[in-house]
Amino acid sequence: MALVPCQVLRAAILLSYCSILCNYKAIDMPAHQTYGGSWKFLTFIDLVIQAVFFGICVLTDLSSLLTRGNDSQEQERQLRKLISLRDWMMAVLAFPVGVFVVTMFWSIYIYDRELVYPKLLDNFIPAWLNHGMHTTVLPFVLIEMRTTHHQYPSRSCGLAAVCTFAVGYILWMCWIHHVTGVWVYPLLEHLSPGVKIIFFAAVTVIINIFYLVGEVLNNYIWDTQKCIDEGKEKPKLE
């Protein structure tokens, strides 16, 4: 039996994201006052995605609890819709975008932090908040994957949705540059137009790879768990 019920874990994770978002929005940073505000940063978009996702998880848990022992077909149908939405968000947004943000941020940060997170930001964002935005996202989404089986969409539909998100964000960054003349991330200032196209294509490929990693990992965890459960149910031979 789990030491902490998964429902409690989800509620705690949701509260932590709400705290992170509130603290981040309370920071008086010049970047928040420019065109696009916080919404120009993938980190902030990811935090919103994670908060909405875990909010849906908690809502699903509550709905499942309230409909338990209830024979209402309409309530069962609504619950199945909620579960489908939860699973779709996990597959297409929460896992690939969350893992992408963590891996890309820390990879570039280790190489040269000024390209993605200038030292000046230390004056505005405390270390614990930085880790809340760029580190804990990964263990939180892995905990969710381990505690709950998620039904992935067909691979073609899933990859199409991930590509749509990636291309949409890239176009959003390009539009911000068109309006302001400044790239959202300092890294892009150092790249020529041709290299930028290659970089954007590589980013799209990487986030699609993370989608596939999530699908494989989800199937591995729950296929293994199924084998363990079936092994426990087999009667012992005398």
Dist CA 169 CA 40 (whole Å): 9
Helix (H, G, I), strand (E, B) or coil at 114: helix
Dist CA 42 CA 46 (whole Å): 6
Dist CA 188 CA 195 (whole Å): 9
Where are the domains positioned within the chain? 6-233
Dist CA 200 CA 188 (whole Å): 10
Nearest to 27 by CA among 121, 117, 147: 121
> b/e per residue, 146-180, with b = 16+ CB within 10 A?
ebbebebbeeeebbebbeebbeebbebbeebbeee
pLDDT tens digit sequence for 63-85: 888 777 676 777 788 889 999 99
Dist CA 16 CA 74 (whole Å): 33
DSSP 8-class letter at 237: P
Nearest to 2 by CA among 151, 143, 207, 115: 143
By percentage, how much of the chain surpasses pLDDT 90?
A: 71
pLDDT tens digit sequence for 41-69: 999 999 999 999 999 999 999 988 877 76
pTM for the model: 0.90
DSSP annotation string for 56-88: HHHHHHHHHHHHTT---HHHHHHHHHHHHHHHH
Question: Where residue 237 falls among pLDDT bands split at 50, 70, 90?
Answer: very low
- For helices 137-147 and 193-233, angle between their N-to-C axes, nearest 10 degrees: 30
